[in-house]
Amino acid sequence: MRQSRSVLDRQRYLDHLDADIDAFAAAVEAGPLDAPVPWCGTWRLADLTVHLGGVHRWATSAVVLGSPPRQAPDDPAPADARALAGWLRAGGQRLLAVLRELDLDGPTWHPFPVEKVGAVWPRRQAQEASVHRWDAQRAIGLAPTIDPLLAADGIDEYFAVALPRLIRREGVVAPTEPLLVRTIDTGDGWLVAGDGVTVVAVDDVQPHGELAGAAQDELLRLWRRPVPDDALTVTGAARGWLELGGM
């Protein structure tokens, strides 16, 4: 089984991030801004835009300061909703500029229970933007897709970075039963289990459930996004793992 690791390099993460920022902004321009995003609670497209733009500004500040941001951004979301797309692009481009210069092996601050090195940031921001770009496009009636290799990396990042944070922050308890996750399009696999504190990669144990399907569908389902009923094979303990959701 593949252990938790990043499979893309910085440039590929940033290329995906750049493209997804632009595609998200285009969805905002197409509208309508009150389009519901029901898998994100009561959010509408405008709320989702404010969220992602805020994440970009928060992450930029964290990278530059090397510590938790303690002040609101200098350019909060505009009151005029028609300006949201430009505001999103502006914040995204500042984030990209900072991430291009970041020392990937150097020390940094971030809120995730993994090694505090710069390489976490390009990966996390690319994954955040890919799912939310999918959200925005789906909300306005498009049929969005996520690159299979990026999606497979997103599955790895979900178990290695995002879910451990959720466990610590929200007190979520991951199932102890080992789960086998297989992507039928990229040929990747993970065998993971919860230990009460985080999620760990395990080997040479019998899984108690399996999640199998295309990488995009698996990633979206792990984040509690809607996928076709017949897109995934879900057996045993996989049902409990899929209830954990994400940030």
Q: How far, CA to CA in Å, does 201 sit from each of 1, 5, 141, 204, 241?
A: 8, 11, 37, 11, 14
Given a contact cutoff of 8 angstroms between Cβ atoms, the answer to whether 166 and 246 are in contact is yes
Question: What pLDDT, in 10s, does the model give residues 73-132?
Answer: 888 999 898 899 999 999 999 999 999 999 999 999 999 999 999 999 999 999 999 999
pLDDT at 72: 79
SS (H, E, C) 36-57: ECHHHCCCEHHHHHHHHHHHHH
- Average pLDDT of the chain is 93
Question: What pLDDT, in 10s, does the model give residues 32-65?
Answer: 999 999 999 999 999 999 999 999 999 999 999 9
101: left (phi over 0), alpha (psi -120 to 50) or beta: alpha
Q: How many CB atoms lie within 10 A of CB 210?
A: 17
